[in-house]
Amino acid sequence: MLRLLFLRVSVLAGLVAAAFVVAPAYSATITTYSDSSAWQSAASVLATVDFEGLAPANGSTTYTGSTGVTSGGAEFIGYTSSGSSWIQVIDTNFNIWYNFGTSDALRQNMDRPTSNSPLPYIHVALPANVTAFGVDLFTVSPSALSYTITVAGTPYTVPTSNRPTETFWGVTSDTPIPSVDLTLQGTVYNGSTSALLDDFRYGAAQGMSDAPEAATFLLIGSGLIGIAALKKWLGRNRSA
């Protein structure tokens, strides 16, 4: 009897282990948006970070701490080529070239010491369980450069528009997005290029499914099939 019980437990354990081995790895499904209305229809906005009041009139505030600019529950950290923290909030009204119709905005200086130096970038650390974000983007010196925005390990190329038009870009995801990285393409060292963003909003994607992942279904199905097969086998052995 003990031997039979041990055999039953061993078979079930083997079925569960096999299910884990063959279960496919789960990956995030990201949907991108270039239209703010379409994104708003697909997301519930929890917070909007507009950076207003963080810079003096016609001036700027520089942040060099490890958490950068903390606003609306998110952290906006600028990294230079050397890896040090540096980012600004500026009043874009101070200069016509920066005036895209917004007031205070986040600015990352894209200057670097040599052409081979790493690109400066903006790292946005999001609160837990964020599954959607959207942002207005623009560039200065020159305008209309393209961003590389990395979400869940995948880089996306996002072209921007000529002054004075900001460019919206957003995503929804079926899994939480812990952070976002943004940098610019086509910059040159000592080129005085600036990456700017404003009205960063984040929240939850609409219609998030609470259903188990595919791997969970596979485990459940494999277990049920295994139990049924085991009962059948044991029944045959009892009647033998």
Q: If you search the block for the tokens 């917004």, which residue do you land on?
A: 102
In the chain, the percentage of residues whose pLDDT exceeds 90 is 72
- Our CA angle for 101, 105, 109, nearest 5°, is 115
| Lowest pLDDT segment from 11-15, 161-165, 167-171, 191-195 | 11-15
Two tokens, residue 233: 């086998």
Residue 22's pLDDT is 41
Residue 209 is predicted with a pLDDT of: 44
Residues 79 and 117: beta-carbon distance below 8 Å: no
Task: Give yes or no for residue 26 having a pLDDT over 70.
Answer: no
User: Which of 201-205, 210-214, 220-224 is modeled with the greatest confidence?
Assistant: 201-205
Helix (H, G, I), strand (E, B) or coil at 210: coil
Greater confidence, 181 or 22?
181
What's the CA gap between 27 and 175, in Å, rounded? 8
Can you give the pLDDT at residue 212?
A: 38
SS3 105: strand
Residue 61 has pLDDT above 90, yes or no: yes
Query: Model pTM?
Result: 0.77
Look at residue 236 in the predicted model and tell me its pLDDT. Answer: 53
**Domain covering 30-205 in this structure, CATH number:** 2.60.120
**Mean local confidence (pLDDT), 43-55:** 98
Cβ(171)–Cβ(115) below 8 Å = no
Element (H, E) at 183: strand 179-184
The mean pLDDT value of the chain amounts to 84
Distance of alpha carbon 92 from its chain centroid, rounded? 26
User: How many angstroms separate the CA atoms of 121 and 87, rounded?
Assistant: 9
| CA-atom Rg of the chain in angstroms | 26
Yes or no: say if 78 and 86 are a contact pair by the CB < 8 Å rule: yes
| DSSP bridge partners of 112 | none
| 65-102 pLDDT, tens digit each | 999 999 999 999 999 999 999 999 999 999 999 999 99
Distance (Å) of CA 179 to CA 8, 39, 41, 129: 46, 19, 22, 11
